[in-house]
Amino acid sequence: MNRAWWLAAVLLAPLPLAAQQDSAMARAFELERRGNYSQAVDAYRAVLVARPADASALLGLERALTPLGRETDILPQVRAALAVLNPSPTTGAIFGVALRAWAAAGAPDSLRSVAERWAAMAPGDETPYREWGAAALAERDRAAARQAYTTARQELHRDDALAAEMAQLDFADGDFAGSLREWLPAVRRVSGYRTSAVSMLTQAPDSLRQALLSQLGHEHDLPARRLEANLRARWGDPLGALESLQAALPADTALAVEALRGLADQLRTVPGRDGRQALGRALEQIADRTREPERSRTRLEAARAYTAAGQRDAARRMLTGIADDRGAPGTIAAGASATLIQVLIGDGKLDEASKRLAEHRSDMAVDDYTSLERRLVRAYIQAGDLAHADSLVAGDSTVEGLALAGRLRLYRGDIAGAIARFKAAGPFAGEREEATERTALLAMLQPIEADTVLPLGQALLALARGDTARAVTGLDKVGGELPPDKGGAEIHLMAGRLAAAIGKPADAERMFKAADVQTAPGTAPAAELALAELLLDQRRPAEAVAQLEHLILTYPSSALVPQARRRLDEARGGVPQT
Amino acid sequence: MRRREFLARGAAGLLALSPSLAPSLGRLRLTGSAPWLLVPMDDAQSDHLKAYGLTFRLLERGGRAEWFLNYRSGSFLLPADDAITRDAALNGITVEPLDDSRLVSIRGELQGGNMDAVPLEKAPKVAVYAPPNAAPWDDAVTMALNYAGIRFEKVWDPEVMGAKLKTYDWLHLHHEDFTGQYSKFFLNYAGSPWLVDMVDRNRAMARQLGYPSVPALKRAVAVTIAEYVQRGGFLFAMCTATETLDLALAADNVDIAASYADGTPMDADASQRMRWNEALAFQGATLELNPTIPVYSDIDGHQVNSPDRRQPLGSFTLFNFSAKIDPVATMLVQNHRQVIPDFYGLTTSFTRKTLKPSVTVLADEPGAPWVKYIHGEHGEGTWTFFGGHDPEDPQHQIGDVPTDLSLHPHSPGYRLILNNVLFPAAKKKELKT
């Protein structure tokens, strides 16, 4: 009995004050977590009654009041906290809450007073002024924020204090020159600011860019050069970007590599030949400053960039040695081999490429190998060497291989064989563009009744080899020999499109008209649309309009009618030219 | 013989059924048994915007049409001649052949509900006030007219001051700043080639026409435009032209232009001295005195270029009017959508507190202190103001790619613009507002 009473007394005794407060905080957190903000406010306030300067409770109260739209209701608690505040690790958090509360209340004098009190407790620290400015900005008061930063500079006797914040203000005001002036010291102090600086300054209108670059040109240190390089790269001058950086690269290898890597990362996103070339050069310089295996890996990447830029000599220079270096890591050597084979194909050294491909077959992934093999087949086709192309394709039973085999049949004039292989390959084999082109070819071939039309194969081979003029002549002749509804109209349409593409509008017009016959109703709307577009290109809008109107009214159910209407709108000036 | 007689009697019957179209029916070649075409303007229509052009071109050719207010979202009745059929086919406009019995049935529906048939008789002669170098794609009305295939002529200060306005029935104001402050972009876009060109052209024009400054010229232009409306013209304005036209009109002997525009600062008490009785739509507005803030006054509810005051976009709702009692307002709100997403402009909306009591509100944002689309009379003529810049580019910026209306053929916002173009074609005696 006595034992039971004792237990009851222990259980029912009041908890120590600290434990009660912890429990109250836990309850407040839980209410906030559940989204019950009203009750959370009450719970946090209860904690603050006992401990007015409890930073966690004050911050919790601020968080709970914000979604209720009652930010200024925190002011009594803020005043109470400030009244008992002593320097401690949480002082900053309490001052921060106070600044935001006064800013929300639209009380600039109180805002300033709190910031000055904080600054007095933390001499030499930028934070009070930064928070003051941030609180003002949260209320969209840029003038007050600027006042906060200017005061910081006066009080701290440092012209570069809060430079990043000032730069953002200038940017918001559309003052790009001012923003750049501020970003420079900010980036010099904290290099991590460069990303923000670049992303803001990049948005400068075209008309201001040269002036900004000139402004940067007066600075000669590495941070300024890096900023200039980043901006030039973003503004479409990747080679200029690299030159800017090179001029200030430090002797310290680690620093130089870090700067080059930063630019290379950006250049990877810059499209176009200049972008690839600049990337290749940056990577080459990184490789020159690093050791194996990083060196080989970087040279390989540089070679790929040079290849994409069409700089085969530079690519070969990078690859020399890596591919045949047994000491280089296996994946790098295989990658180098693949790139080197691409370079050799590009140089027209097909037999050497073929030999290397055979030698390195075991080092390469299957997909890489077949991809290179097909590139080689296409290169042999372009060279007119159908025998070698045939021999490579013979062992390829994939759908992509069938598609290539179909083309080889076609170039030999074997229409039936080409159709059979194209059908077997299906409509999706290969890249999208290639698949679309093959489908169009199949549509052109199917109406042809003859199994073999050698001149058609020769004309298409000429086209594959880049001799478009010869292809046009051949196709025009074949189109004239075949009945319009048995392939003649489609071939004339293709010939006309090619003639237009090589700047022979008169020939193209004649061929489109030859394709526009009622006996080939599947081809005629396309021929009329092509003719109208040719007339538009030749600035003959009235004839184009008549042609388009004829198309729409004569073939109202054609799938080309929406496109024709669009071109009609353009011809009449109803919509912007695309 | 019997068939010919039947056709002749049928045609005579149709004339009786649709009296307003009778004069044009004589020129028609009837197509089968459907002498009329209904141009539906509800969701069955494949190109709402071009449908207005179809009707406009018929009127241009001397034909007549009817606008079936509130019937299938404001459909048009056209005679089924070859030219219209061809025009509709070329432009991808949905038309429905209509025989006489169906037409009788529709007229019965019009009688019974909040609908009416308004005869359209004459294509209005349309002018767009725009500087010669205005980008053709930077004005919603110009885009709508071009897309719909409605012919218009451009006029600018020399034509307005040269009394050419009287030759037009309908005038649209490009987003001009009639306070003469270059849209208050002068300081923020200093050095931009387009701004330099705009300033040079306007200053040269002020000199040419004998005005001491651009603000003085623009006020004279505004007064001339108001006189045009007074004499019976139809005025339609969007974006900043709405607000600045009224500010210029009310600024009688008040300097409301910043010093960069006329060499002298704004009158500090300009807001108090404005003569709002000279304005068309607004009164009691407070002017923005800061020359660096591209905001003119508190007429605009959204204040898009003032970060501290900028209001988010919502959507606006078109009002319903009685088609038989209030056909003008009804015509202006014909649409297949009642609620339309809002869009910014230098002037996006009009605060309710600054509207004159005589203004008819055509669309507003429920619960917001602003309205979007307003209309009123001035003397013998009428004006309509529509806030915002481009209904299909809600946050249009300088240099943005032009809006391609072939991607927005059902745009309800652009429909409102085109309602305004056809409204002056309505037979005058029918207008009761």
d(CA B232, CA B286): 30
pLDDT of residue B180: 93
Token pair, residue A89, equals: 């690790």
CB contact under 8 A, B90 and A576: no
Task: Give how far A137 is from chain B: nearest CA, Å.
Answer: 10
CB contact under 8 A, A576 and B193: no
Q: Is residue A485 part of a domain?
A: yes
Alpha helices in B180-300 (DSSP H): 193-208, 214-230, 239-250, 259-262, 270-273
**Residues of chain A with C-beta less than 8 angstroms from the C-beta of B90:** 549, 552-553, 565, 568
Name residues whose C-beta falls within 8 Å of residue B209's C-beta, 6 or more positions apart in sequence: B157, B158, B161, B217, B220
pLDDT of residue B70: 96
Q: Is residue A463 part of a domain?
A: yes
pLDDT of residue A60: 94
Structural domain boundaries enclosing A482: 447-572
On whether both B277 and B317 belong to a single domain, the answer is yes
Token pair, residue B107, equals: 């007229």
Q: Which residue numbers of B have CB closer than 8 Å to A's CBs?
A: 86, 89-92, 136-137, 146-149, 188, 191-193, 307-308, 399, 401-402, 404-406
Q: Is the pTM value of this prediction over 0.90?
A: no
Angstrom CA distances, A57 to A53, A78, A99, stand at 8, 11, 16
d(CA B245, CA A560): 46
Angstrom CA distances, A301 to A286, A298, A315, B43, stand at 11, 5, 9, 56
Least confident of A200-209, A401-410, B333-342: A200-209
Tell me which residues of chain A, numbers 117 to 146, contact chain B at a CB-CB cutoff of 8 Å.
140-142
What average pLDDT does this structure show over A85-90? 82
Task: Give how far B309 is from chain A: nearest CA, Å.
Answer: 9
- Count of A–B CB contacts within 8 Å? 48
Domain boundary among B88, B105, B120: B120
Task: Give how far B376 is from chain A: nearest CA, Å.
Answer: 31
pLDDT bracket for residue A535 (50, 70, 90): very high
On whether both B412 and B335 belong to a single domain, the answer is yes
Q: Is residue A190 part of a domain?
A: no
On whether both B154 and B287 belong to a single domain, the answer is yes
CB contact under 8 A, B406 and A556: no
d(CA A131, CA B326): 58
On whether both B14 and B72 belong to a single domain, the answer is yes
pLDDT of residue B336: 96
Measured in whole angstroms, how far is the alpha carbon of residue B83 from the centre of its chain?
27
Output the 3-class SS for A538-564: CCCHHHHHHHHHHHHHHCCCCCCHHHH
Cα torsion A215, A221, A224, A228: sign:
positive
Angstrom CA distances, B341 to A319, B242, B336, B365, B417, stand at 58, 20, 14, 10, 15
Taking the Cβ of residue A577 and every Cβ of chain B, the question of whether any pair is shorter than 8 Å is answered with no
pLDDT of residue A27: 92
Taking the Cβ of residue A394 and every Cβ of chain B, the question of whether any pair is shorter than 8 Å is answered with no
Length of chain A: 578
Mapping DSSP to helix (H, G, I), strand (E, B) and coil, where does residue B265 land? Answer: coil
User: If we measure between CA atoms, which residue out of A413, A424, A416, A212 comes closest to residue A404?
Assistant: A424
Q: Is residue A484 part of a domain?
A: yes
Cα A150–Cα A156–Cα A162 angle in degrees, nearest 5 = 50
On whether both B28 and B143 belong to a single domain, the answer is no
On whether both B79 and B182 belong to a single domain, the answer is no
**Residues of chain B with C-beta less than 8 angstroms from the C-beta of A566:** 406
Q: Is residue A474 part of a domain?
A: yes
CB contact under 8 A, B90 and A208: no
Bond from prior residue into A293 cis (ω within 30 degrees of 0): yes
Q: Which of B404, B411, B418 to mutate to test the interface with A (most CBs of A within 10 A)?
A: B404
Q: Which of A142, A207, A545, A577 to mutate to test the interface with B (most CBs of B within 10 A)?
A: A207
What average pLDDT does this structure show over B319-347? 94
**Residues of chain A with C-beta less than 8 angstroms from the C-beta of B399:** 205
What is the residue-wise DSSP string for A265-296? HHHTT--SHHHHHHHHHHHHHHHHTS-TTHHH
List pLDDT tens digits, range B130-172: 988 776 667 899 999 999 999 999 999 999 999 899 999 999 9
d(CA A38, CA A24): 15
Q: Is residue A458 part of a domain?
A: yes
**Residues of chain B with C-beta less than 8 angstroms from the C-beta of A572:** 149
**Residues of chain B with C-beta less than 8 angstroms from the C-beta of A207:** 191-193
Task: Give how far A570 is from chain B: nearest CA, Å.
Answer: 9
On whether both B240 and B97 belong to a single domain, the answer is no
d(CA B420, CA B432): 16
CB contact under 8 A, B406 and A575: yes
State the total domains in chain B.
2
CB contact under 8 A, B192 and A569: no
Contact, A427 vs A435, CB < 8 A?
yes
Domain boundary among B91, B120, B149: B120
d(CA A66, CA A88): 26
Task: Give how far A226 is from chain B: nearest CA, Å.
Answer: 28
Task: Give how far B133 is from chain A: nearest CA, Å.
Answer: 16
List pLDDT tens digits, range A135-152: 888 877 888 889 999 999
d(CA A457, CA A465): 12
Mapping DSSP to helix (H, G, I), strand (E, B) and coil, where does residue B32 land? Answer: coil
Mapping DSSP to helix (H, G, I), strand (E, B) and coil, where does residue A450 land? Answer: coil
Task: Give how far A572 is from chain B: nearest CA, Å.
Answer: 8
Q: Which of B89, B192, B406 sits opposite A207 (nearest CB)?
A: B192
Alpha helices in A218-364 (DSSP H): 222-234, 238-246, 253-267, 273-288, 294-308, 312-319, 330-347, 350-359
CB contact under 8 A, B90 and A568: yes
d(CA B350, CA B347): 8
Beta pairing, strands B126-129 & B96-98: unpaired
Task: Give how far A276 is from chain B: nearest CA, Å.
Answer: 28
d(CA A107, CA B106): 66
On whether both B396 and B293 belong to a single domain, the answer is yes
pLDDT bracket for residue A16 (50, 70, 90): low
Q: Which residue has the tokens 């601020």?
A: A62
List pLDDT tens digits, range B66-99: 999 999 999 999 999 999 999 999 999 999 999 9
Q: Is residue A145 part of a domain?
A: no
Q: Which amino acid is at A27?
A: R
Whether ipTM > 0.90 holds is no
State the total domains in chain A.
1
Structural domain boundaries enclosing B296: 126-430
Search chain B and give the residue with CA nearest A565: B91
Search chain B and give the residue with CA nearest A206: B192
pLDDT of residue B19: 47
- Say yes or no to pLDDT of B346 above 80: yes
On whether both B110 and B137 belong to a single domain, the answer is no
CATH number for the domain spanning A468: value is: 1.25.40.10
Token pair, residue A424, equals: 């077997």
Search chain A and give the residue with CA nearest B140: A575
Q: Which of B307, B402, B406 sits opposite A569 (nearest CB)?
A: B406
Tell me which residues of chain A, numbers 79 to 98, contact chain B at a CB-CB cutoff of 8 Å.
none
pLDDT of residue B231: 94
Contact, A419 vs A393, CB < 8 A?
no
CATH number for the domain spanning B246: value is: 3.40.50.880
On whether both B303 and B368 belong to a single domain, the answer is yes
On whether both B236 and B341 belong to a single domain, the answer is yes
User: If we measure between CA atoms, which residue out of B201, B194, B200, B196 comes closest to residue B156?
Assistant: B201
User: If we measure between CA atoms, which residue out of B228, B276, B239, B247 comes closest to residue B382?
Assistant: B228
List pLDDT tens digits, range A29-84: 999 988 899 999 999 999 999 899 899 999 999 999 988 888 889 999 999 998 88
On whether both B207 and B268 belong to a single domain, the answer is yes
List pLDDT tens digits, range B171-208: 999 788 999 998 887 766 767 777 888 889 999 999 99
Contact, A186 vs A163, CB < 8 A?
yes
Q: Is residue A476 part of a domain?
A: yes
Domain boundary among B120, B147, B168: B120
